[in-house]
Amino acid sequence: MSLSAAEEAGSIEFDQTLLSGFMRRRVALPVLLFIVGFIAFALSVSAAVLATNVGAKIGFGILGGVFIANLAIMGHDAVHRSFTRLRWLNRVIGTLAFLPALHPFGRWEHHHNRVHHRYTAQIGVDNAFSPMTPDQYRAARWQRRLYYRFMRSLWGQPFFYMIDIWLPKIFLPNPPELRELPKSDTADLLLVYLWLALWISGLAWLSFALSAGSVSFAAALGDAALYGFLIPFLIWNLLIAFLTIAQHTGPGAAWIMPTGRPSTYEQKVRGTVHVGFPEPLDWFLHRVWQHVAHHVNPIVPLYALKGAEAEVLADTRVRPVVERWTPAYHWRLTRDCKLYDPVEDCWCDFNFQPTGQRAPAKLAASVR
């Protein structure tokens, strides 16, 4: 397919009418998905607290963390107003679905919708595991370099989201940001704090009440905090860190320096990875791996994303980044994607040697 002068200049657009058939938002189906997901989460964490075998308690705690992720994916769609066709229902479901993940609706909306989606793959702006450039790494203090190297390792990746995003930006906003929060965001944040207290104390009361006095309330509280809250919450953080990294980091994924403008269609496609996973896992996680179409049009609901993804990947004007996830691929991703060189448009290691493929020349010309 030949490119027009406008396309050569970097103004390629996607024909959104191709996705019109996938943009029908429902009510009954998403409500059912949410109810089933929330019940599964509640049963999992309750079982983690009530089980008497330590192995079973840990197993149910892990399952609880998986269902936190399952709910958060639905909440993510609701914040985009794509989960149902009713705005108020999206608000209710989004607020409730994000409570187990300890995410206030408004804080997620700001950092995900207004930052990540608007400035996708812009270095230092997008919060999806943004890489340093070689120049930034050279200029950083040794403490910052050491921290960055840890986070780009297999051992550091599980902590990325919790430490870099959730704690300072979502759960405990820094003072300047806190002072600028709108009243709705403040109310959302207070609701999350209240939920946390009710979550742990409620599980502790359940355990204590059913123990017939065989354990003290203090012991029940500790049990609830460890197996009913901490283990599920850590599993959720591991999963969202993994999702974020796999979706926007890879040998073929391209990042650019900040432009001061929202990312173009082309930049979004080149900065987002279509990750192939087994069908049952993709279905269980509500098509979260069909991620390129989601960045092209976030109004497409999760239950229609697979078809929309096929349409987007069929657009041959921009070569999409398609990978099949395996442990070997993730190891290669971790080994090769240390720094991103915006001049050469490729990944490099900590010795500043190129490790990944260069971005297509057309994209390089459009982002310099």
Using alpha carbons, list the distances in angstroms from residue 107 to 87, 93, 321: 18, 15, 29
Structure tokens at 13: 């657009």
Q: For residues 177 and 118, what is the distance between their CA atoms, to the nearest angstrom? A: 19
pLDDT at residue 361 greater than cutoff 80: no
3-state secondary structure of 331: helix
pLDDT at residue 363 greater than cutoff 50: no
Q: For residues 16 and 180, what is the distance between their CA atoms, to the nearest angstrom? A: 35
273 phi-psi bin (left φ>0, alpha ψ -120 to 50, beta other): beta
Task: Count Cβ atoms below 10 Å from residue 198 Cβ, excluding itself.
Answer: 12
Burial label, 43 (beta-carbon count in 10 A; 0-12, 13-18, 19+): middle
Residue bearing tokens 């991620």: 291
3-state secondary structure of 9: coil
Q: For residues 298 and 296, what is the distance between their CA atoms, to the nearest angstrom? A: 7
pTM of the model as a whole: 0.92
Residue pair 160/245 in contact (Cβ under 8 Å)? The answer is yes
Q: For residues 35 and 195, what is the distance between their CA atoms, to the nearest angstrom? A: 18
Name the pLDDT band for 176 (thresholds 50, 70, 90). Answer: confident
How much is the pLDDT for 359? 53
What average pLDDT does this structure show over 26-30?
98
E-assigned strands of the chain? 273-276, 321-324, 339-341, 346-348
How much is the pLDDT for 126? 98
How much is the pLDDT for 127? 96
Report the mean per-residue pLDDT for the chain: 92
Could you read off the pLDDT of 272-323 as tens digits, one per residue? 999 999 999 999 999 999 999 999 999 999 999 999 999 999 998 888 899 9
Q: Can you give the residue ranges of every domain in the chain?
A: 5-367
Could you read off the pLDDT of 48-76 as tens digits, one per residue? 999 999 999 999 999 999 999 999 999 99
What's 292's DSSP letter?
A: H
The Cβ-side half-sphere exposure at 315, using a 13 Å CA radius, reads 23
What average pLDDT does this structure show over 34-54?
97
How much is the pLDDT for 362? 43
Could you read off the pLDDT of 102-159 as tens digits, one per residue? 999 999 999 999 999 999 999 999 999 999 999 999 999 999 999 999 999 999 999 9
pLDDT at residue 181 greater than cutoff 50: yes
Phi, psi (degrees; rounded to nearest 5) at 218: -60, -40
Residue pair 267/120 in contact (Cβ under 8 Å)? The answer is yes
Using alpha carbons, list the distances in angstroms from residue 235 to 36, 197, 227, 249, 342: 20, 19, 11, 21, 34
Q: For residues 83 and 93, what is the distance between their CA atoms, to the nearest angstrom? A: 9
Proportion of the chain above pLDDT 90, given as a percent: 87
Task: Count Cβ atoms below 10 Å from residue 32 Cβ, excluding itself.
Answer: 11
Range with the poorest average pLDDT among 30-34, 212-216, 361-365: 361-365
Range with the poorest average pLDDT among 217-221, 336-340, 364-368: 364-368
